[in-house]
């Protein structure tokens, strides 16, 4: 009894997981060695917990994709993913996956059908990024089904082979510093209650849900920083996007605006006899404001300022681009934005680093003028072994 990983045909590059459990045997083609080893670990964990089911081939043939999706959503998705991700998954399942494959037995769905499904979605106007997310969902569903012993192959494995997603480089919309000033002037005049929120977005780069979920206890007035501890997605409170809290610096100007904002809310609470709201940007009843309401006011503020339409998330990009314009490092911007890795920051904003490429080509003009050589200098002997 146990789990083994090996190539069924040596040198084929196709790795299989062989399972021998409770007098039942299964062979599952997974793909790469790395994926097979990961699947084997999960199967071994299920065996240890006595949770592994190895249904007979006939039982597996009767399992429809929609039936397994219900189990997958109630189990893996409900317990491991954030509310926003669950909502996004459910939307793509309902709109795309179930209409195409919901009534099909899982073992019948082929790689060719998945490829044609992708092409159809693209032809229907769905973006490459959305198609890729849809593929990732299907692939995850089948990977879990493989672990449960229901299918032996993942027709959506390695989703990147079906389509190329355009680089995020240069795709971010943002306001220029001058446009940011115009937005804040319009909000101060026409939407004074939201002016502090818009300024916080432009000065900290916090996401919409993080701003809605901000509480007064998160603000350190002495050290001048804000601790981003939670996000609010349609009333559901959870940790920030990457799962970890972070500290963002608070400018002197933002500190003044938030101080005045707090005094105004305290005075209003005293006047109405209601307790001081714990939320920095409360709605009329004292609870968190609604995202849809905020977006509508933001659009109205853009119009009042005479600015083009941009999504609220553009304020986050505006913060990053403004810092780059001031020659701040990508590492600092990564930390302020809470990106999981600096590669995300580079992909999104690297092209905005001022003068980087031009300085490089200008240095080419100096080659040969003062005996300089284009040949790279040899590293010191001690450096060769570091």
Per-residue pLDDT for 59 more than 60?
no
State the residue for tokens 């240069």: 170
The highest-confidence range among 4-13, 256-265, 363-372, by mean pLDDT, is 256-265
- Give the range among 190-204, 241-255, 287-301, 366-380 with minimum mean pLDDT: 366-380
Q: Is the pLDDT of residue 299 over 90?
A: yes
Structure tokens at 228: 């981003």
pLDDT band, residue 82 (cuts 50/70/90) = confident
Per domain, the residue ranges of the chain are 1-54, 55-166, 182-307
What does the block give as tokens for 217? Answer: 């206890």
Predicted confidence band at 117 (pLDDT cuts at 50, 70, 90)?
A: very high
Query: Which residue would you say has higher pLDDT here, 363 or 345?
Result: 345
Average pLDDT over residues 293-297: 95
* Cα 279 from Cα 122, distance rounded (Å): 42
Fold topology of 55-166: DNA polymerase; domain 1 (1.10.150)
Q: Tell me if residue 296 falls in helix, strand or coil.
A: helix
| pLDDT category of residue 382 using cuts at 50, 70 and 90 | very low
Query: What sign does the CA torsion over 206, 209, 210, 213 have?
Result: positive
Measure the CA–CA gap between 317 and 322, rounded to whole angstroms. 8
Predicted confidence (pLDDT) per residue in 282-292, tens digit: 988 888 899 99
Assigned CATH for 182-307: 1.10.443.10
Q: What is the pLDDT of residue 325?
A: 83
Q: Is 158 helix (H, G, I), strand (E, B) or coil?
A: coil
The number of helix segments (H) and strand segments (E) in the chain equals 17, 8
Which is it for strands 236-238 and 231-233: parallel, antiparallel or unpaired? antiparallel
Taking CA 163 as the corner, what is the angle to CA 159 and CA 166, rounded to the nearest 5 degrees? 115
Q: 213: helix, coil or strand?
A: coil
Rounded Cα distance, 53 and 374, in Å: 64
Higher pLDDT, 168 or 142: 142
pTM for the complete prediction?
0.64
Q: What is the mean pLDDT of residues 274-302?
A: 92
Mean pLDDT, the chain, rounded, equals 83
DSSP for 230-258 reads -EEETTEEE--TTSS-EEEE--HHHHHHH
pLDDT at residue 146, as a whole number: 83
Q: Above pLDDT 70, what percent of the chain?
A: 83
Output 16 or 224, whichever has higher pLDDT.
Answer: 224
What local confidence, expressed as pLDDT, does residue 128 receive?
A: 82
């Amino acid at each position: 009894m146990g789990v083994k990983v090996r190539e069924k045909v040596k040198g084929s590059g196709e790795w299989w997981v062989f399972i021998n459990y409770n007098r039942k045997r299964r062979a599952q083609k997974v793909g790469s060695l790395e994926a097979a080893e990961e699947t084997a670990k999960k199967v071994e964990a299920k065996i240890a917990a006595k949770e592994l089911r190895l249904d007979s081939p006939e039982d597996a043939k009767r399992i429809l994709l929609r039936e397994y999706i219900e189990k997958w959503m109630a189990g893996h998705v409900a317990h491991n993913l954030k509310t926003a991700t669950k909502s996004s998954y459910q939307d793509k399942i309902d709109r795309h996956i179930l209409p195409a494959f919901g009534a099909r037995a899982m073992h019948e769905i082929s790689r060719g059908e998945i490829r044609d499904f992708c092409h159809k979605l693209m032809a229907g106007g769905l973006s490459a990024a959305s198609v890729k997310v849809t593929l990732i969902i299907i692939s995850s569903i089948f990977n879990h089904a493989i672990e449960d012993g229901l299918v032996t192959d993942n027709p959506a494995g390695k989703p990147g082979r079906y389509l190329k997603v355009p680089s995020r480089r240069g795709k971010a919309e943002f306001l220029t510093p001058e446009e940011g000033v115009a937005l804040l002037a319009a909000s101060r005049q026409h939407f004074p209650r939201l002016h502090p929120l818009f300024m916080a977005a432009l000065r900290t780069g916090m996401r919409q849900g993080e701003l809605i979920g901000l509480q007064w206890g998160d603000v350190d007035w002495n050290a001048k920083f804000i601790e981003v501890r939670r996000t609010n997605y349609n009333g559901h409170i959870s940790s920030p996007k990457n799962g970890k809290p972070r500290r963002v610096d608070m400018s002197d100007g933002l500190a003044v605006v938030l101080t005045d904002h707090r005094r105004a809310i305290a005075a209003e609470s005293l006047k109405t006899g209601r307790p001081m709201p714990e939320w920095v940007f409360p709605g009329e009843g004292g609870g968190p404001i609604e995202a849809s309401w905020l977006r509508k006011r933001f659009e109205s503020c853009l119009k009042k300022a005479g600015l083009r339409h941009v999504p609220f998330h553009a304020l986050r990009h505006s913060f990053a681009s403004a810092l780059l314009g001031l020659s701040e490092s990508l590492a600092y911007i990564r930390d302020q934005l809470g990106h999981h890795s600096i590669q995300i920051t580079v992909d999104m904003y690297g092209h905005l680093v001022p003068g980087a490429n031009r300085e490089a080509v200008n240095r080419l003009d100096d080659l040969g003028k003062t005996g300089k050589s284009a040949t790279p200098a040899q590293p010191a002997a001690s450096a060769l072994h570091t």
